[in-house]
Amino acid sequence: MLTSFIKVHLGVSFLLVLTGIFFVPLIVSAEEGALRIITSPLPISLVALPGTTVTTELKVKNAGTEAETLKIDILKFN
C-alpha cells in the first residue's frame, strides 16, 4: 500500500515538473512586448475652483520593450 502511494506521488510530481518545463516558457514569451506604462504619482487628485487654473506634474515611463502612443484625457469624477 505504501509503495503504491509513493509511486503515485512520484508520478504526480514528475507530471508537475514536466508541465512547468513546457508551459512556463510559453507564458513568459507571451508577456514580452506587453504594454507596461508606469505613472507617478498615483493617484492624482486635483480640485479647481471656477475660473482658476490647476497644474500638476505627471511622470510617465514606458517600461515595455516597444514604443507606445498615448492619448491623455481629463475626466471629471463626482
For 3-42, what is each residue's pLDDT tens digit? 555 555 555 555 455 455 555 554 444 456 678 888 887 7
Which residues are CB-neighbours of 34 under 8 A, at least 6 positions away?
A: 64
Average pLDDT on 46-72 reads 88
> What pTM did the predictor assign?
0.43
Quote the pLDDT of residue 13: 58
Return the half-sphere exposure (C-beta side, CA atoms, 13 A cut-off) of residue 71.
2
